[in-house]
Amino acid sequence: MSIHFRIDQLSPAEASFLRWQYGFEDADDAYARVLWQAIGRAWEADEASGGRTNHLARLGSRGAYPDEVALYLKFRSDEGDALWQDLIRRAGLSDRRKDKVAPNVERRRRA
């Protein structure tokens, strides 16, 4: 599967985030994949600690990756669905969460 979207309407962090959400290709930058995994794990660790750790703040510090971290925090917030819908719309993609695709077995039975 290859993902094509209108990159001119997205920031580099938003484009990277959409690629991460839709799944990586073999040709993708492994460093970007690890970055998003680190952000996700930092979020989970901070949530599990009940506020005793603050890994996300360190990831988002000056010279780190503040755009990616800020985007991830918005996505995980209560407004996450609105952010997702906006990114999908601006990227020119369909929201795959709304697609109802019948399994191959079901499609063969109908034929």
pLDDT in tens, 18-41: 877 777 665 667 777 788 888 999
Question: Does a structural domain hold residue 2?
Answer: no
Q: What is the pTM of this model?
A: 0.64
- Domains contained in the chain, number: 1
What does the DSSP 8-state code read for residue 10?
A: S
Distance (Å, rounded) from C-alpha 109 to C-alpha 37?
40
The boundaries of the domain holding residue 106 are: 10-110
Residue 8's pLDDT band (boundaries 50, 70, 90)?
confident
Is the pLDDT at 103 greater than 70, yes or no?
A: no
- Residue 24 inside a domain? The answer is yes
Is residue 105's pLDDT more than 70? no
